[in-house]
Structure 1
Amino acid sequence: MSKSAKKINYEDSVAQLEATISKLEQGDLSLEEALQSFEQGVRLSRDCQSLLADAEQRVILLTADGEEELSDDE
């Protein structure tokens, strides 16, 4: 399934990221397993950052629309 076809969920991504961090902190992974987990963590972190940025943009747009409506009524 491609990245665009798979809907990314913030809460699920954070949970996976926390699990990955926990696994890395245990310190019992081989070097290769640790690198793979680290790569997965970086991807999850970027996905979360992107989702938060998108949400922030939506809030800004919604707030800006609301301010315009309020100023039109004055």
Structure 2
Amino acid sequence: MVMLDGIPINAAPDYDQAEGWLVTAEVAVATINEFRRQVSKRQAALRRESEIGPRQPYEPLAPRTAGGDQALI
């Protein structure tokens, strides 16, 4: 039975104690699977980056001018 501050949360006559453990295990497995998915994605990105080289930083373009020092806005 799950209790919060000594108060039973899911008290029922036919409560199966294994249910709480199964839910906890499901959350742990889902968290581990999400971590593995993200690690695989990052490793694949690092492999691609090492094959093609690092991305160049973005450099904004200079403002267009109208033949002089005045910028077109």
Query: TM-score normalised by the shorter chain: which range applies?
Result: 0.5 to 0.7
2:22 is paired with a residue whose SS is helix
Q: TM-score, normalised by structure 2?
A: 0.53
| Pairing 1:42-61 to 2, within 5 Å after superposition | 42-61=21-40
Greater share of residues in helix: 1
- Higher-Rg structure is 2
1:67 aligns with 2:67: no
Return structure 1 stretches of 4+ with deviation > 3 angstroms.
Answer: 27-30
Query: Structure 2 unaligned runs (5+)?
Result: 54-73
Separation in 1, partners of 2:45, 2:51:
10
Where is the strand percentage greater, Structure 1 or Structure 2? 2
Q: Distance in 2 between matches of 1:67 and 1:46?
A: 32
Give deviations 1:5-61, integer Å, cap 9, x for gaps: xxxxxxxxxxxxxxx73xx2314958x76x72x422211010000111111111011
Q: Which has the higher contact order (CA 8 A, sep 6+)?
A: 1
Under a length normalisation based on structure 1, what TM-score does the superposition of the two structures give? Answer: 0.53
How many residue pairs are counted as aligned between the two chains? 50
SS at match of 2:21: helix
